[in-house]
């Protein structure tokens, strides 16, 4: 009897163990959660362009040449004005300006724009001295020489972004030259002016080219270079401040003042 009881006990224990094993194997396994996706890579902004421009030598005599040297980085295009145009990122160019000029180099790329300037000063030798002009006969007018200057010497106007003398302005310049030759003691300054469009730096260079274009014309008419000074005010001294073409035209000028 004792043997039978133990066998029954073993059978019950074995059934219990098998039941527990089957219950454990029937449980569903829960899959682990997938890891979070990695963050997207951060793209750095494109580098800003840089450029340097140099002129060697910076001062020349009329008829001589200077060499422009430049180097740009992170630039897709490089432009040099006036008269040079689009160039490679690094290089040099020989220039022979007839009058003093400021060259402007601009580098443009995905990261923005950069610029630099280089000025070439041209020394113009003085022409032979003028023969003394006989004084004009006295007239009935009691006006001073400065009043006569303002009445007889007219301003010259230019096209947008140009420094060439317009054909319609040539008769005015010839009249200015005639009066100035008749009054050989008068010394004067030619002022170059621009409208407000464009950067301050660019307009200073444009005003300089306009003043020197008028000076070159007067020299070709026989006036002595020692009587003439030039200055550029760019957009700093407008005579009209309205933003329309009629006003812009009045500001694109070369004005004359007595020294």
Distance, first Cα to last Cα, the chain: 145
| Each residue's pLDDT tens digit, 4-39 | 555 666 666 777 776 776 765 555 555 677 888 888
Which residues lie closer than 8 Å to 88 by C-beta, 6 or more apart?
Answer: 78
Q: Is the dihedral of CA 85, 89, 95, 100 positive or negative?
A: positive
Q: Which residue intervals of the chain are DSSP H helices?
A: 2-26, 145-152, 170-182, 200-220, 245-251
Q: What is the model's pTM?
A: 0.48
Per-residue model confidence as pLDDT tens digits over 32-89: 778 888 888 888 889 999 999 999 999 999 889 999 999 999 999 999 999 899 999 9
Confidence at residue 36, expressed as pLDDT on a 0 to 100 scale: 85
- Mean residue pLDDT of the chain comes to 87
């Amino acid at each position: 009897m004792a043997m039978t009881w133990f066998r029954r006990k073993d059978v019950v224990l074995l059934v219990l163990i098998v039941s527990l094993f089957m219950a454990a194997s029937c449980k569903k396994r829960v899959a682990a959660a997938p890891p979070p996706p990695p963050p997207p890579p951060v793209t750095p902004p494109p580098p800003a362009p840089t450029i340097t421009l140099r002129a060697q030598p910076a001062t020349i005599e009329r008829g001589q040449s200077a060499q422009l040297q430049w180097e740009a980085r992170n630039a897709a295009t490089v432009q040099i004005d006036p008269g040079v145009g689009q160039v490679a990122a690094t290089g040099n160019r020989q220039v022979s300006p007839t009058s003093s000029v400021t060259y402007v180099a601009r580098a443009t790329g995905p990261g923005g724009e950069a610029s630099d300037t280089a000025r070439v000063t041209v020394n113009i030798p003085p022409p032979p001295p003028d023969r003394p002009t006989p004084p004009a006969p006295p007239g009935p007018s009691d006006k001073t020489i400065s009043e006569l200057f303002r009445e007889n010497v007219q301003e010259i106007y230019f096209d947008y972004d140009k420094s060439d003398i317009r054909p319609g302005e040539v008769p005015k310049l010839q009249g200015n030259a005639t009066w100035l030759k008749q009054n050989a003691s008068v010394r004067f300054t030619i002022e170059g002016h621009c409208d407000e469009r464009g950067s301050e730096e660019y307009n200073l260079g444009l005003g300089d080219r306009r003043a020197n274009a008028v000076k070159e014309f007067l020299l070709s008419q026989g006036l002595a270079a020692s009587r003439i000074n030039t200055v550029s005010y760019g957009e700093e001294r407008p005579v009209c401040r309205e933003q329309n073409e009629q006003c812009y035209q009045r500001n694109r000028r070369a004005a004359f003042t007595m020294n």
